[in-house]
Amino acid sequence: MRQAGFAQFVKKCVVGGLVISASSLWVTQAHALSDPVQSLSMVERVMDEDGLPRAFDLTLHGIDYNKESYVWSISAQGAHGKASVVQNGSAVKVDYQPEPNWHGNDEFTVQLADGRGGASEVLVKVVVEPTNDAPVNKKPPQIIGHAIIGSILTARMGEWDDSIDGEKGDFFYSYQWMRAKDANSTELADMVAIEGATEQTYQVTKADNHLYLAVEVTAHDRSSGESVPLQTSAMSLPDKVGNYAPVIGLAPLKELEETFLVKAFEFVGNKSFTTEELNNALADYTDRELGITKLKEVTAEVTKFYRQKESILASAYLPKQEIGNGTVKIKIVEAEVDQITVAGNKSYNASYLKKIMEKAARNSPLKSDDIERGLLTLNTLPALSARSVLQKGGKPGTASVNVQVEESKPFGVSVEYNNHGSTSVSRERYQTTLSWDNIMGSGAQATAAVLVGETPKDLAYKTLDIQAPVGYYGTKLGVSYSTGNYDVTQVFSDLGIKGESTTGKIYVQHPFVLRRNLSLYGEVGVEGKNAPFYLLGTLNSKDRVRIAYAQVDSTFDLLGGSNTISANVTQGLGAMLGGSPNGTKTSRTGADNQFSRLQLTYAHNRQLHEKYSFYGTGTWQAADDSLVSSEEFQIGGQDSVRGHTSGAESGDNGYRTSFELRYTDPAATVPYMIYSFLDHGYVRRKEPLINQEKSAFLTGYGVGAMLNYTKFGVTGSMNLDMGWPIYPAVNTLKESPVVSLSTSITY
């Protein structure tokens, strides 16, 4: 009998880790043993009535640190408008269209759901501010006077009101006189503007002879409060010019702007960039004749240069000066942080949150990357979302950073069911997870889970994970412990096959890069596992695994979609710390605790259409020696090659790939996804058992569906897959299709 296969019965159920961000608003919930919980809970947007001139603008970003796919949707519409989402990679564009001419407060809910039953919701509150609608023309303009060459025509503006707003309105008028293209043109559509003819009166010229004239009157509403008032135009009926008349006038005067030769620029106040760097950015403006207008362009280019370098508040301007030697002085203000304030916290320590932002914004000048990293670091804390507002500081050239935080409930509960087990060790499984966020006000987090089979005797595992921030840069220290046992039943029940497993791990995690569309995390740790295996009531083997590992995880947008890359290097420590030495009787012949292993994972999610997307993922593993059962690469089952038994094949080296074509309707009331999939896997064993093949392939295909629904803060989800084996054509379950079901309820 091959003993290696029994490690497949030990499954660590770890799901969760969704991130939602809006602009510079980010949040993460890193529940290692729970489904995703609500992250960013609320965001506000202000727009104008009818979306003009200020339209609704909101982009959300989603990250699932468990590398699961996810679906965006509107789970609750507003009372006075319609919201919709368009997903593009890890981002989703949210749109909201209020009812015509309506203003006031409205709200709707955006949901982000993954494929394992978790979901997060964001309440979007919209303030639709009233705007002054454009004037309405009641009576068209008229031309007063005789249309003959040399005569003066006067435009009568007609009649206007502000009936849409129900107010009188405060109007002023502008004019544009129009001329027909030729003698055959009699329609208003054939009129073209007469250059310079923008007064209420117009003197008919020789160029107008035998042509139709008209005047376009534009009513502007001052009460709009905008720098460019709202306006409406109307045109008079055309009037044909008759005979010639002498014309006396003055030639127009041309305004001339004084220019001078600029040889070089001198900069004052530049600390972040050298004079040479700034002059290189202005190379197109040196050794040229420039006037005041062009010099204003130069200062705009300097400001643009700083903004491109993420110095978001830096600005350049021309101080008062005399330019005599061809050198122009430009003064630069590089904004620094004056003060940082934190508001909205309840159980979190305000000084701790403030310190995180101070460390992130310690550089001068203030850069958007620094503010972004500080906010993202805050949002990695459990049950916390943060946003910031920059305001003018108390001193010239400074800015105040005001951080507004919002805390969600500190306790979470989830219950899950699935039938992803094997027929020998409890096909049906149940898990309950409890989480406690922000312990002692410092962002520490504890998660406990219990997984049982159809009876606790068949399968029972308990896990505990504790994670706490260290310092102010996003570093976290984690400790986890799990223990459990399983019995092999069905046809093997008479053999008295039992197994136990105890695992402990300590690790440190640090974010090296934190940006809206790019993250890079590093993790190092040590882990120990004890796994005795019993046959006929007697100890048959015992794996004592002691490993050290280093892992890098990155998420980024590239190739038209969102991407995730993970690399893990694991080194067995031999007999150190009580590990299995060479020659020990372990679960695999020739395997011990002296090994090296590399594992790489890549996933890509691309939006093909508003409702269609593609998802592909692959994992590859290579080891330099035979591995004990718990460290082998396994293929088969729900998280690997569907249509086959969970952990049907295992080996020291191998790979697995999965490709999905997905369909979802963003406008659906209940978020759902329908997909088809094709899975393939391969393993190779360095020392196969007697009558065991050295390598094995599995291939399967099928269809699936996911549903998520949230009501009163409780999220219910379901995932159903139907997988058919392709190779081999018959699986060990002897089922075709293999129906996999998982459901969960999260509060």
Query: What's residue 36's pLDDT?
Result: 35
Task: Rank 66-75, 557-566, 574-583, 595-604 by mean pLDDT and report only the highest.
Answer: 595-604
Query: What's residue 38's pLDDT?
Result: 34
Average pLDDT over residues 286-308: 90
Query: What's residue 170's pLDDT?
Result: 75
Q: Which residues pair with 732 in a beta bridge?
A: none
3-state SS, residue 280: helix
Confidence class of residue 491 from pLDDT cuts 50, 70 and 90?
Answer: low
Query: What's residue 493's pLDDT?
Result: 65
Query: What's residue 224's pLDDT?
Result: 56
Name, in order, each residue with C-beta under 8 angstroms of 124's C-beta and a sequence gap of 6 or more.
42, 43, 44, 45, 58, 83, 94, 96, 107, 108, 109, 110
Average pLDDT over residues 198-217: 89
pLDDT at 322 over 60: yes
Name, in order, each residue with C-beta under 8 angstroms of 405's C-beta and a sequence gap of 6 or more.
342, 343, 344, 345, 348, 353, 378, 384, 385, 386
- 270-333 and 141-236 share a CATH fold: no
Model confidence over 79-122: pLDDT tens digits? 999 999 988 767 788 999 999 888 889 999 988 887 676 778 88
Topology of 141-236 in CATH?
A: Immunoglobulin-like (2.60.40)
Is-contact 22 59, C-beta < 8 A? yes
Q: How far apart (Å, rounded) are the C-alpha atoms in residues 67 and 211?
A: 72
Lowest mean pLDDT among 133-142, 328-337, 635-644: 133-142
Q: How far apart (Å, rounded) are the C-alpha atoms in residues 428 and 410?
A: 30
Q: Which residue has the higher pLDDT, 87 or 244?
A: 87
pLDDT at 33 over 70: no
pLDDT at 502 over 90: yes
pLDDT at 30 over 50: no
- Which of these, 140, 120, 130, lies nearest to 46 by C-alpha position? 130
Q: What number of other Cβ atoms are within 10 A of residue 101's Cβ?
A: 12
Name the superfamily (CATH) of residues 270-333: membrane protein fhac (3.10.20.310)
Mean pLDDT of the chain: 84
Task: Rank 4-8, 135-139, 427-431, 496-500 by mean pLDDT and report only the highest.
Answer: 427-431
Query: What's residue 3's pLDDT?
Result: 37
Q: Which residue has the higher pLDDT, 272 or 511?
A: 511
**How much of the chain is helix, strand and coil, in % rounded to 5?**
10, 50, 40
Domain boundaries defined on the chain: 141-236, 270-333
Look at strands 201-203 and 152-156 and give their pairing. Answer: antiparallel
Average pLDDT over residues 693-706: 96
pLDDT at 25 over 60: no
Q: If you search the block for the tokens 């403006």, which residue do you land on? A: 285
